[in-house]
Amino acid sequence: MSLLTDAMERLKGLFFRDRRDQELAEELRDHIERETQERIRRGERPEAARRAALLAFGGVEQYKEAVRDARGIRPLEELGADLRYALRGLRRNPGFTATAVLVLGLGLGATTAVFSVMYSVVLADIPYPDPDRLVLVSEKNSPTNAWNISTADATAIRAQQKSFEAWGELSRQEAALSGTGAPERIVIGRVSAGFFKALGVPVARGRWIEPRDEAAEAPPVVVVTHELAERTLGGPDQALGRSLTLDGISHQVVGVLPPGRTELGGFRAAAWPVLKLPVPVRRGPFWLRGVARLKPGVTIEAAARDLASVSARILPLWSDFPDSLAKLTPMPLRGRIVGRAEKQVGLFAGAVLLVLLLAITNVATLALVRASSREAELGVRVMLGAGKNRIARLLVTENILLTLAAGAVGLLLASLALKLAVSQLPNLQRIENARMDWRAAGFGISAALLAGILVSLSPLAALSGRGAGVQTDARRAGTGRRTNTLRSILVGAEFALALPLLVGAGLLLNSFVRLSRVDPGFDPNGLVAVTVALPQGRYPKPEQQLRFWQQAEQRLAEMPGVVAAGLASDVPPDNSGNYDNFNLVDHPVPAGRSEPASPWYYVSAGYFKTIGIPILDGRIFTVADSSNGPPTVVVSRSWADKYFPKERAVGRQLIQGGCYDCPRTTIVGVVGDIKNLGLAVPAEAVYGPVAQSGARSLNLVVRAAGGTAAALRDLREQVRALDSELPVQESIISALFDDSLADPRRWTMLLGAFAGAGTALAALGIFGLMSYVVRQRRREIGVRLALGAQPGTMTRFIVAKGMRYALIGSGIGLVVTLALVRRMATMLFGVSPTDMLTIAAVATLLLTVAVLACWLPGRRAARIRPLEAISTE
């Protein structure tokens, strides 16, 4: 039998029921007419013939029913009846319906929104063909310590690897874009031809960078994003063949990316100029990212073995990098793109799931009360012949209808929440893809159906526990022990669910407060900076660059309203992470081990004064620390304490950057700690003099006495006066610190909101249960009061009874919490995930709320008037 024919016939039977019935009647009339005629033909009298025909057929109505059954629509008809009945019931009880739809709708909405975010940020495939074959190659010498690769590494991999179908390098930088309107700084990704080949993404127009473009004498080419082409090149169609000036060097545009493609391999950049790999002269510096596509069938482990042998072969070739533990290591590119988000989003997915479960539990309690208050009505239905299955089906239909309505509300809320999330949580990669699509809608509706079944479980359990006897005594309705046990279990479960939520929120709050109280080591107010990069074209020689920097610092220091001015390669809270490795002459690392590395800054003497960093020992830079003087550095107190714990650091020497042929670098001073790398990170730092850096890009930093806006305007004017074509990027240091707190603040608020909702739901649950208990025991309480019990005793009795559930639930919640909370460790600052103080504080809060929620019905119990209570029975 064809399923389709069957379904079609059934559906026709359902939708054209009236027409079908008419046709059936006509058919049967026709049948009886023919039978009558036949009998008349055989000689019977017309009257008798008709009666005989009818008799031969039997009861016409009965056969109509039999035919309808054969059409197979009875279950559907019953469903229709159930739906109509359920709708009527829900309409008749608007308070219950509205509460349940709202509570569940909020839960489902939040869950759907978080699911959608999680899908696009964590679960969705990265947008490349065969993404599982894409790897990122790094140097790695311990499970936690990985860094970029060097020119020497890349050259060796190109020549020796056997595992990759395609291999390419990337160096992400900032560059000055000029010649197309106002000068500006953009992020670029210098890439080799293999990078595009490995990713396998097509260009929308033109071509990719090809191996011939990498030749030293080939003209520089660039592939641009659709957005950059629109903004500066007169649209993607006009872009091809035009030139783009990056850091003063003209690049020919050969390709345009498809619209919306703003990142490649998880790296965001506006333009992708060609990377021309120089011939390596030493092992370092480590400045490149390696991206590769594995050959089909080659596992990442096999590729790791292949690259390890490359590492072993090149180790003896370069004396400047003796770390035998460092291995070139492939890691899935997916990990780089999904990154930290997995943990953050995972935590909130867990939290939102707890909220949803709480909402479901709450509505289950409501549904249970409703079912028990309808015991009389259901009893009548049983008496009239409805089977238990039929009643169970009715209850489930009703609850699923309810949760589907809640699901609709939830989808609406989720689409609003998603718009908010996309605009408020921009620090998650790929969050812009999160939207209300069929996937999110499917998830929401499935969650709603599941919720409907879960909500139905408790009334069904209560139903199955009922004896065969029919209860029609309305006053006794819902007194079943089983119903009460179920309700107290549900209320306990709500506390078990609420506690982990509260602990999570408490920990994040604690961590956030600690983070925001961290002393940055200086006063960020009034500090402004502009980043300036000097293009190679117009400042080819280091002396020219240095002259520019010195002139700029001088002009800024003389500006009215400026307290102090200085130069720095990075300003706090810097996240670009410029590190260098070193080896202490007095305490060298053992042979074959990697050298330590520290954040490394190049600053002018004026910088220390501008920021307000105190000099603790020795001196800061002078004119003697010039490009041809001996190399010098100033270190922070944390650095000195770490590497010279019991000795004086000033006067010691180190080998910088693995350059054993270079002159030794001398530590000339120790200065105070500042939070250079953000509030959560230790303050160890090494400062070198600008004159010895050859820096092409620096920050001009100014402490202004007046407003920051005016200071920034003056800064811009001074730079323009020196060179009108330089793009500048402005920052206000205090705003940067505030921004660094914005993300933890958002996450804390979000989890706080979830925890608040969870606590409210648990309180609502226990309040409902105890109010019900008081109503149920009204008579008993009345009698006890009449016999001389103190009203206060009654309140205490009710509160104690309620708190038993709350305590047991919270106890279970504590166990759940301790099992879950360790996953939060990496998200916390200065707090252990099992911080007893936090756990005790939130448990106290939860139980206090519970006491209050029990006390309200308890007070009502105390105010019961004995006479009324007894006589109303």
Partner 1 sequence: MPPESSDLLQGTLEMLVLKALSLTPMHGWGIGHRIDQLSGDAFQVQQGSLYPALQRMLRKGWITSEWRITENNRRARYYLLTRAGRRQLEAETAAWARASAAVNGILRVRTADGTP
Residues that bind partner 1 (CB under 8 A): 1-2, 5-6, 9-10, 23-24, 26-28, 30-31, 34-35, 38, 56-58, 62-63, 66-67, 69-72, 74
The minimum distance between CB 501 and partner 1, in angstroms, equals: 49
Tokens of 117: 């975010």
Nearer to partner 1, 77 or 165 (CB): 77
Nearer to partner 1, 22 or 250 (CB): 22
Nearer to partner 1, 18 or 873 (CB): 18
Nearer to partner 1, 70 or 380 (CB): 70
The strand ranges marked E within 556-596 are 562-568, 579-584
C-alpha–C-alpha distance, residues 101 and 208, integer Å? 54
Nearer to partner 1, 70 or 474 (CB): 70
Nearer to partner 1, 66 or 800 (CB): 66
Peptide bond into 573 cis (omega under 30): yes
Tokens of 57: 């057929």
The minimum distance between CB 63 and partner 1, in angstroms, equals: 5
What angle, 0 to 180 degrees and rounded to 10, lies between the N-to-C axes of helices 388-424 and 341-373?
150
The minimum distance between CB 803 and partner 1, in angstroms, equals: 52
Nearer to partner 1, 23 or 780 (CB): 23
The 3 state secondary structure assigned to 723-769 is CCCCCEEEEEHHHHHHHHHHHHHHHHHHHHHHHHHHHHHHHHHHHHH
- The owner of tokens 């812009």 is 432
DSSP three-state, residue 400: helix
Nearer to partner 1, 57 or 829 (CB): 57
C-alpha–C-alpha distance, residues 803 and 766, integer Å? 9
Q: Decide: residue 63, CB within 10 A, 0-12 exposed, 13-18 middle, 19+ buried.
A: middle
The minimum distance between CB 15 and partner 1, in angstroms, equals: 15
The strand ranges marked E within 586-739 are 597-603, 615-618, 632-636, 653-656, 665-671, 686-689, 697-704, 728-732
Nearer to partner 1, 31 or 419 (CB): 31
The minimum distance between CB 471 and partner 1, in angstroms, equals: 30
3-state class percentages of the chain: helix first, strand second, coil last, to nearest 5: 55, 15, 30
Tokens of 571: 């300003």
Q: How far, in Å, are 458, 586, 651 from residue 666 at the CA level?
A: 76, 12, 6
DSSP three-state, residue 864: coil
Nearer to partner 1, 38 or 647 (CB): 38
The minimum distance between CB 383 and partner 1, in angstroms, equals: 22
C-alpha–C-alpha distance, residues 839 and 504, integer Å? 9
The minimum distance between CB 78 and partner 1, in angstroms, equals: 11
The minimum distance between CB 59 and partner 1, in angstroms, equals: 8
Could you report how far apart the first and last alpha carbons of the chain are, in Å?
Answer: 62
Give yes or no for a contact between 243 and 233, defined as CB atoms under 8 angstroms apart. Answer: no
